[in-house]
Amino acid sequence: MRKKTVAIVSLWAFVALCWALVIGWRLLDRSGVLDERIVYVETADPASRPGVPILDANNAFFTVMKAEPNRVEVQWSRTEIHGEHPICRVKRLDGPATSVMGTLNGERQYPILIDTGCNQGLIVNDVVALESGLGLCPIDVELGSGLGGFCHVDEIEIGGMTIRKPPCCYTRGHYERRAFGKPTQKERQVILGLNLMRGFRYLLIDNVASEVEFGLGQSFAPDPNESWWQFPMSIETEGWNRLRALVEMPIAGQTRRIMIDTAASWNLYVSRSIWKELSREVNIIETSQSRSKMFRGWTDVEKVTVEQFQIGQRTLSRATIAVVDESAAWKSDNFLLGMDNFADTAIALDFEDNRFWIREPLDQGLIETD
């Protein structure tokens, strides 16, 4: 009898311990301590670190002409783009964002995000700025979300192409991967924005061949053996010095002007006010709350799944739309075209003739075309 009692007590103690471990694990998981996740980390200005080269506002690489709360004028030295061939073709890195590998100042390699949604020339995050020993020029006024100032990059190489003296900003933060509450990897990223990109004749992103093609000395000419659709495109300035690549194309039954964002992964990103109209013109399957990785941290969004979604001359069986609440970093007229629309094909931004091209997919699968 005594042995039986001891066994029963031991069993109950074991069960209680298991329950305690389960509850503790769930509490820790909810707090994010156990879950490996990517977070955005804001840091002190890298220019405040000991030993960092500080550039004067008037230096050999750029001159800050005026710095006011809502206006900063900078005169950059002339940017030069050289290529071994008229076309620079490089491998596209795996992942939803359009990225390639590049070499900064002839030394370190970094992933380079091809981002038409960024109106700057080049942006390096604080990790890259410190690691590469770049000369920094901090600016006290607001340059944009998370930007700390300007910096000097001698050159950046992408495949057989070299960009010398590109206009460059640096950030005061970065993304990093954490596990058990501690960083395991810091994101080292360079962003190539629209201000530099429009210096190419065209940019082609082939998601089937996993390649990105920069047209340097040659105009865009579609392969005659392939079928392509084309739409009017324009590079416009919104407000003070904010560039946008806009395309006119049918979306959900109407021709609309929408901003092309090669760094956005889902099909569409819309503001709440635009969604009020668009929601009446799409077939909604489900909605849920989610998060989207933005330039400066994660943003809560309403994730909407729709069916039979028209984009250009295609009708996608399923599409994902992110509805973002208006804030200081997200304007009421923001309407972005993401890259999930073209995961099975290729697109080209023709900066020379102001056209946006979409290659007709060879395997239509669940996708219908008009």
- The DSSP symbol for 78 reads P
Go through 208-225 and write b for each residue having 16 or more CB atoms within 10 A of its CB, e for each that does not: eeeebbbbbeeebeeeee
Quote the pTM value.
Answer: 0.85
* Phi, psi of 16, rounded to the nearest 5 degrees: -60, -40
Which structure tokens are listed for 86?
A: 């008229």
How far from chain centre, in Å, is Cα 306?
23
- The DSSP symbol for 87 reads E
Pairing of strands 108-114, 190-192: parallel
- pLDDT tens track, the chain, 370 positions: 565 665 565 666 665 665 655 454 454 444 444 445 889 998 889 999 999 999 999 999 999 998 877 778 899 999 999 999 999 999 999 988 899 999 999 999 999 999 999 989 999 999 999 999 999 999 876 666 688 999 999 999 999 999 999 999 999 999 998 887 777 888 999 999 999 999 999 999 999 999 999 999 999 999 898 999 999 999 988 765 678 999 999 999 899 999 999 999 999 999 999 999 999 999 999 999 998 888 888 889 999 999 999 999 999 999 999 999 877 566 777 899 999 999 999 999 999 999 999 999 976 544 444 4
Strand partners, 211: 91, 206
Give 121-132 as a DSSP string: SEEE-HHHHHHT
Angstrom distance (rounded) from CA 245 to CA 293: 21
Residue 29: the pLDDT is: 46
Pairing of strands 335-337, 254-260: parallel
E strand or H helix at 15: helix 2-31
- The DSSP symbol for 361 reads P
Closest CA to 335 of 322, 354, 345: 322
